[in-house]
Structure 1
Amino acid sequence: MKIHPSYPVSALTLAIAALIHAPYTQAADQQDNVALDTLQISDTAIDGGQSTENTYRSESSAAATRLQLTAKETPQTVTTVTRQQMDDFGLDGAKEVLDATPGVTVERVETDRATFTARGFDIQNFQQDGLGLPFTHDLLYGDMDTAMYDRIEVLRGANGLMTGTGSPSATVNYVRKRPTEKFQAQVNARYGSWDNRRIDADVSGALNKAGTVRGRLVGAHDAGDSYLDRYSRENNLFYGVVEADLTDSTLLTIGHSRQTVQPDAPLWGAMPLFYTDGSATDYDVSTSTATDWAYLDNTREESFVELQQRFANGWQLKANLSYIESKTDDALFYVAGTPNATNESGPYAYPSRHSQDDEQLLGDIYASGGFSLGGREHEAVLGASWSSTESSQLNNFGQGIGTPLDWGDKWNGNYPKPSFDARQSASSWKDWTRSVYAAGRFSLTDQLNLIGGARYTSLRTKGDAYSANQDRGDSELTPYAGLVYDLTERHSVYASYTEIFRPQSETDLAGSRLDPVMGDAYEVGLKSTWLDGKLETGAALFTAKQSDLATSGGRRADNSTFYVGEDTESRGFELTLAGELAPRWHATAGFTYVQIEDDQGDAIRTFIPARQLKLATTYQPAALPQVKMGASVRWQDDIKREQAAGITTTQDAYALVDLMASYRFSENLSAQLNLNNLTDEKYLNSLYSTQSYYGEPRNASLSVSWKY
């Protein structure tokens, strides 16, 4: 394995130990009543009272294998953004949460559509409580409000065992809040820059005297303007869930959520990044290519039912069925063309209207438990899952495509709304997935555990995309294997292997889908726990090879992107930390390095930062326990994109610093101030596409929270 930087794993471990042991010991005697809750988190967090409030770490995750493994026992890198971290830094949307997640890059290609990457590649695997693929096109439309989630887990590396479609990037698992038996309620109100207003509420408790039926309601309303010219939006969320103990060993859970995102004057595409002479453009941070009539409305509804049965021998059976319906309706304006540096002439109008309907039915059933073999105790999981996804899209192109624009300082978004009847294109297809899987943790010795399994997946597609037939079928067995060896009670080393298999929805110039991606992914690492398990650290090396990975090949005549297959090899390392450094001092941090090459050994995907550092920390002084102070830092090195005719767009390395401070007036009432982008850094959000726009300048918000 050829990796440029060195790997000071042992030195890192010793340094962390020396750094944190002394202050923790000195402060332990001064600790007040502020402490971490004892957590016993299941894969779906269905048991009452299990949450990630008051902590920056989660004790266990089943995202990789469905086995209940702690982070130290999982032979891959797992990081979690907890409820407490979301509250401290105002991470109200999925994009903000994943921005704060070590090793993940949020590619904000437009205001209301984003792609996520990890270890250099697009994240295609998304789960809700360990089930399903919430995003049908690997894009987040609008933004998912995080008020309904207890935590968001990110498993780095390929995850073919639980998703059936291994990819060496990551799997994102959104874990929903569940009802509590004890009554609790919370209301938060916030006001911030650009007239941003937010209010959310969360009520939970028993619905009968015996406490055998429990419910939870979560609602959020978020609206306001923006630093971008003309842009504003309104988001609304409702989430309700009820669980009932049918017997002492049978639990039924039923829930529903509805989220609407309604932005006005959203971006479709973004600013041109270079002039015809090759020089870089440089506009005001507020510059937007959108017209004043543009909109992009999204509605997402999800219903789910779960049944869990525990047996006397310790085994359990769990079944889950979910139905998701997503609708998008928009009228958008794209600024095409390259401006002239002298007079900004060159850009032209490209208006279009789109509608998209997606329906998903997702099911999963599995049994898990322990068994004895060879005088030792082991664990196993056996399951099956199925899904169907039906998607239809309709594009209506507007009159006036090609009309020259008064671009640059003259552009104010005042372009007449056209009739959308110039021409039309459409697609309609359906995917079916059927899988069976098995996994186990086998105790080979007191120190050595083998974690392995396999998943057989069959996928079928029927339909057409823009007149190209999409009918095809694929099937594959994806094995997974990992070894975890306990060096001591606190330190373990591991190695894991996952086969990569992922059918692709991207199409070539003729409109046909590309062949599935095939390959292999490997990871080795060291994990440690400190301070009686309150702090976890990790160091990992990873590498992956893929064939026929979809890579942008250009644009068709209708402005849509076509793709070509490319062979890649990636390698890198990650360092992570999460937990409590000392009493009342919480932190999470991660450093990632990744190097990606094509089959000729040339660097590719240079629009993704090779080095990335993320840190978030809060502290409550012992002398003023009602005060909390915190900071987060996100740093990435320079990125670049090779544009047309040998022109290169570069974004220099930059760091974003956010601060927070809160004051608790009483057990029920508190206030919090958040300051984002402290240094008012000017930067491009992404170079994932040939166009981009600037990130948020310095801004602030003040919130008030009432808890019962």
Structure 2
Amino acid sequence: MLKKHPLAVFVAVALSPLNSTAATNPTEPVDEVYVVEGHQARFKANSNETAMRMEVSQLETAGQVAVMDQTLIQEQNATTLGDVLVNDASIGVGGTDRNREIFMLRGFELDTGTGYLRNGQQQWSYYRHPVELMERVEVLKGPAGLLYGKSAPGGLVNMVTKRPTAAFQASISQKVGTNDYQHTVADASGSLNQSGTLRGRMVLSKQSEGSSRRYLDGSEPELDRQIAGLMLDYDITPDTQLSLHYDRVIDDSNSDNGANIINGKPQLGSQFIWEAPWSFMDIDVENYGVDIVSQLTPDWKVKSGYNRQDYKRHYHEGFGQRETYDANTQSFKYFAMDRHDNWVLDTAYLDVTGAFQFGNIDHQVLIGANALRNDYVGQRVMKKNQTAVIGGAYPEPDIHYGTATPRDPEPTDSIGFYAQDLMTLNPQWQLLAGLRYDREDNETDTYYNVLPKAAVMYHPSPEKTLYVTYSESFEPKNPVDSDTDINDGMALKPVKGKLYEFGYKQSLLNDQALFSAALFQIEQENKVVKEAITGQGSLTSRTTQLGKQTHKGVEVSLAGQVTDSWSVHSSATYLDARIEDPFNPANDGKQPADTPEWGASIWSRYDVDNQTYVNVGARYVGDRYGDMKNTYHKPGYTTVNAGVGHTIKAGEQTDLKLSVNVENLFNESYLAGGVQNKTTLGEERKVVLGASLHF
């Protein structure tokens, strides 16, 4: 019971009575100009782009959308998407093996290929997304099939990138910290011609870091990541804008797939790495594309765009098989793999948005289509039953992926057409109705599907919104494709989801803060499950589908400026997630992996004066299991972060900003995401010093 106290304290603060006054009327038309003038309350998002594929106010959104902005990202010294997402309590964190980040949203895992968006288009996410290119991150909760097609029922994460500015601005920052952490970022933006019709922005970043963990030979894993991004906006006419973008991420690092937990403790200690010292993973990701926006009339707009993501990965690893460890000989078995993967993801969209009045009803409509093509080619070579000795050798076999026959290409094509209508009946009542038609062609099948969405919003006053919403998700699945799976080649049914949600939102404190709450139930059918098996020779896994998962939960959040000096970004959640699988008693009634019942997150800033601020934040994650059968228990934990920042006026238009951040202030030891033999250990205390010049 004591472990729930942090959440109880948080909820008491979040739900404490706060006086509010009138805010912007949610039924007024939304202005979609990119530059917003006037005062913006810190940490409070007035609008979002993800929920409706157009900018709408939070009070007109019949669902929960958490927004983490640039101020929050910078104050927390975030470097990956995972650093940002911990600010929302509905996000669960899975394993980080193979140097990627896995997340659950409302208890459902975000799919690598369809759970993440960049500016509203799908992104392949088998790597740690950098945040240097991001302006903000929006988390859309609940099925998003109407507007985005194939996706999990928990929701989506949309990464909104930085845009060029008309006025010149530039910054260069340098940060250093624990474990040889170094991070340099340069960001410059402004007009490229005298008229200001051509604007550009360039972002460059280089990051390197060591680790407190050690390989068998005493060496440590290292990270070296470089990022370059170029964004151009050109006003073809006053009403038509062309945008071009290109960015590249090179992420070279060593492998550390996590600890083996025995009786709650890491086998061979928290610093020991089971993978070979010569293991590495080199990732090279390129994104490039074009968008065009044309304001046809004051009420009608056309938006279209295309993006190609080319993801290459060379993965060379000795994976230590933890279960083979022999304490007498101080040895264990491992297998070596040399593998090359290349995914190419092409996405395109066309949206038409407009407003009109029919009878006495105002309509804001969206009619559009989006398409996706995913191509994959891979080669790999493995060598099994190798032996490593602690304090001795970890031999590197002479293998190279180039000697293997490339796998046949595995293309997947999908296209969807959608229509959505936000109807304003009067200042108090709004209705949302939408319908989508989808087609997907994969290796063996063609799938067709129709997805509806409906919502009712009631505004008892301009600053309050009550809503009820229903939506669905649909995920076609390829057949099982693994020569080590006992069900290799078996066709899989599409995974389907349904959401029922009731919510409340209120603008508080003269529109300086937003409170939001939701009660929801999500049902998913045909979840795909892969389990390890033994005693079947070379067959080591079994892929099946469950009957049903039901997730019931409550969420609350509060974000904005409580006073002129004090700002908060906070959330809390309770989730009752259960598997219903009557044909497999071992799974029936169990709690999904890495899905705690209780969670909370808070980040606060206090401005001492105009030059100095201090930050204090905390995240609570409740008890959970690391496996679907609920045999591997992980206790709850609370981590505390803190920081301080100070600005020095270095010139008429130049500021020098200094900062100190301490992550995991009390050096809490905890088990993060992942299965028992690949559990990510919580990061130890980390101190980062930063200095940046802003022009």
Q: Partner residue of 1:106?
A: 93
Choose the corresponding residue for 1:483, options 444, 449, 456: 456
**CA offsets, 1:128-163, max 9 Å, x none?**
44432202xxxx433221111100100011101111
Choose the corresponding residue for 2:430, options 432, 449, 469: 449
Q: Partner residue of 2:666?
A: 679
Change (3 A) 1:296 1:52: farther
Change (3 A) 1:451 1:283: farther
Instruction: Check conservation: 2:452, 2:472, Cα contact below 8 A.
Output: yes
Q: Partner residue of 1:534?
A: 512
**CA offsets, 1:84-113, max 9 Å, x none?**
001001011112112223311221332612
Change (3 A) 1:558 1:150: farther
Deviation, structure 1 residue 54 = 7.4
The 5 Å alignment of 1:252-401 reads: 252-264=242-254, 266-267=255-256, 269-274=257-262, 281-338=266-323, 343=328, 347-398=332-383, 401=384
What's the % identity of the aligned pairs?
A: 20
Change (3 A) 1:192 1:559: farther
Q: Distance in 2 between matches of 1:341 and 1:41?
A: 66
Deviation, structure 1 residue 647 = 9.0
Instruction: Check conservation: 1:656, 1:677, Cα contact below 8 A.
Output: yes
**CA offsets, 1:153-179, max 9 Å, x none?**
000111011111242212110101101
Instruction: Check conservation: 1:188, 1:704, Cα contact below 8 A.
Output: yes
Instruction: Check conservation: 1:535, 1:580, Cα contact below 8 A.
Output: yes
Instruction: Check conservation: 1:64, 1:161, Cα contact below 8 A.
Output: no
Change (3 A) 1:279 1:688: closer
Instruction: Check conservation: 2:593, 2:630, Cα contact below 8 A.
Output: no
Letter in 2 for 1:17: P
What TM-score do the two structures reach when normalised by structure 2? 0.88
Q: Distance in 2 between matches of 1:308 and 1:560?
A: 51
Letter in 2 for 1:499: E
Deviation, structure 1 residue 41 = 9.6
Change (3 A) 1:270 1:240: same
Q: Distance in 1 between matches of 2:31 and 2:671?
A: 39
What TM-score do the two structures reach when normalised by structure 1? 0.87
Instruction: Check conservation: 2:324, 2:333, Cα contact below 8 A.
Output: no
The 5 Å alignment of 1:309-708 reads: 309-338=294-323, 343=328, 347-398=332-383, 401-406=384-389, 410=390, 414-420=393-399, 426=407, 428-462=409-443, 471-505=444-478, 507=480, 509-554=487-532, 562-566=542-546, 567-599=548-580, 600=582, 602-621=589-608, 624-641=609-626, 648-666=631-649, 668-688=655-675, 690-708=677-695
Instruction: Check conservation: 1:662, 1:672, Cα contact below 8 A.
Output: yes
Deviation, structure 1 residue 591 = 0.7
Between stretches 122-131 and 526-535, larger displacement belongs to 122-131
Runs of 5+ consecutive residues of structure 1 not aligned to the other structure: 1-6, 25-39, 463-470
Letter in 2 for 1:609: P
Instruction: Check conservation: 1:192, 1:702, Cα contact below 8 A.
Output: yes
The 5 Å alignment of 1:22-171 reads: 47-48=34-35, 55-110=42-97, 112-124=99-111, 125-135=114-124, 140-171=125-156
For this pair of structures, how many residues does the alignment match? Answer: 655
**CA offsets, 1:186-208, max 9 Å, x none?**
11100001111110011000111
Deviation, structure 1 residue 584 = 2.8
Q: Distance in 1 between matches of 2:531 and 2:322?
A: 18
Letter in 1 for 2:517: A
Instruction: Check conservation: 1:238, 1:259, Cα contact below 8 A.
Output: yes
Change (3 A) 1:549 1:128: closer
Q: Distance in 1 between matches of 2:39 and 2:232?
A: 20
Deviation, structure 1 residue 506 = 7.1
Q: Distance in 2 between matches of 1:595 and 1:506?
A: 31
**CA offsets, 1:209-261, max 9 Å, x none?**
11111111111100121122221010111110111111110111111111110
Change (3 A) 1:301 1:558: farther
Change (3 A) 1:16 1:51: same
- What is the SS of the residue equivalent to 1:271? coil
Q: Distance in 1 between matches of 2:285 and 2:31?
A: 26
Deviation, structure 1 residue 526 = 0.8
Q: Partner residue of 2:585?
A: none
